[in-house]
């Protein structure tokens, strides 16, 4: 299956009340209630690649490494998601994790790294991983190999804290 095939089959971003429900975490972050999400969500600040306006998106943290620190997130709607394209255009940005801001640089991970990340996520959150893959129209049978295949089709981004070990690492797209 080619990248074009997987992005074509991705669901469209929600509209109406579903979009409002998915935007609720953003409202909670704006109200200073980000710590309610623990280590599961972060608030990504990014700049519109066309409009040059400040944008904010709440994303699920697929994995968090406090030693570096770095956060890995997934573009569930594919590489055409606005926040993903905005980070491609301007990878240095800010996130809010809990109530703490962090300057980060986006590193776009290769498909093989995505396979490892998705397999690990499926081990830690098996039901959620199956539901997410079903929502993204990625076939999984519950086995590790199928989650690895799904992970190759999902764009993953590591957000490394500025000044961390990745600051001089080459960008991959």
pLDDT digits (tens, 9 = 90+) for 76-103: 888 999 999 999 999 999 999 988 999 9
CA atoms within 13 A on the CB side of 71: 25
pLDDT digits (tens, 9 = 90+) for 1-26: 444 444 446 666 677 767 667 778 99
Round to whole Å and give the CA distance between 76 and 137: 10
SS3 57: strand
Query: Looking at residue 78, what is its pLDDT?
Result: 87
Query: Looking at residue 47, what is its pLDDT?
Result: 95
Please, are residues 44 and 57 in contact by the beta-carbon 8 Å criterion?
yes
Average pLDDT over residues 145-165: 90
Round to whole Å and give the CA distance between 18 and 158: 27
Straight-line distance from the first to the last Cα atom of the chain, in angstroms, rounded to the nearest whole number: 19
| Three-state SS letters, 88-133 | HHCCEEEEEECCEEEEEEEEECCHHHHHHHHHHHHHHCHHHHHHHH
Query: Looking at residue 20, what is its pLDDT?
Result: 67
What pLDDT band is residue 170 in, cutting at 50, 70 and 90? very low
Query: Looking at residue 11, what is its pLDDT?
Result: 67
Query: Looking at residue 72, what is its pLDDT?
Result: 98
Query: Looking at residue 9, what is its pLDDT?
Result: 61
Average pLDDT over residues 121-146: 92
């Amino acid at each position: 299956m080619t990248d074009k095939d997987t992005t074509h089959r991705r669901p469209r971003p929600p509209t109406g009340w579903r979009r409002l429900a998915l935007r609720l975490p953003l409202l909670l972050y704006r109200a200073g209630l980000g710590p309610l999400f623990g280590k599961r969500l972060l608030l990504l600040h990014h700049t519109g690649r066309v409009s040059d306006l400040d944008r904010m998106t709440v994303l699920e943290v697929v994995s968090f490494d406090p030693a570096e620190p770095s956060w890995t997130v997934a573009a569930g709607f594919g590489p055409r998601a606005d926040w993903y394209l905005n980070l491609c255009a301007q990878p240095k940005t800010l996130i809010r994790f809990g109530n703490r801001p962090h300057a980060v640089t986006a590193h776009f991970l290769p498909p093989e790294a995505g396979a490892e990340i998705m397999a690990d996520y499926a081990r830690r959150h098996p039901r959620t991983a199956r539901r997410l893959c079903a929502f993204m129209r990625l076939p999984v049978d519950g086995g590790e190999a199928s989650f690895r295949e799904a992970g190759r089709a999902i764009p993953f981004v590591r957000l490394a804290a500025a000044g961390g070990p990745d600051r001089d690492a080459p960008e991959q797209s």
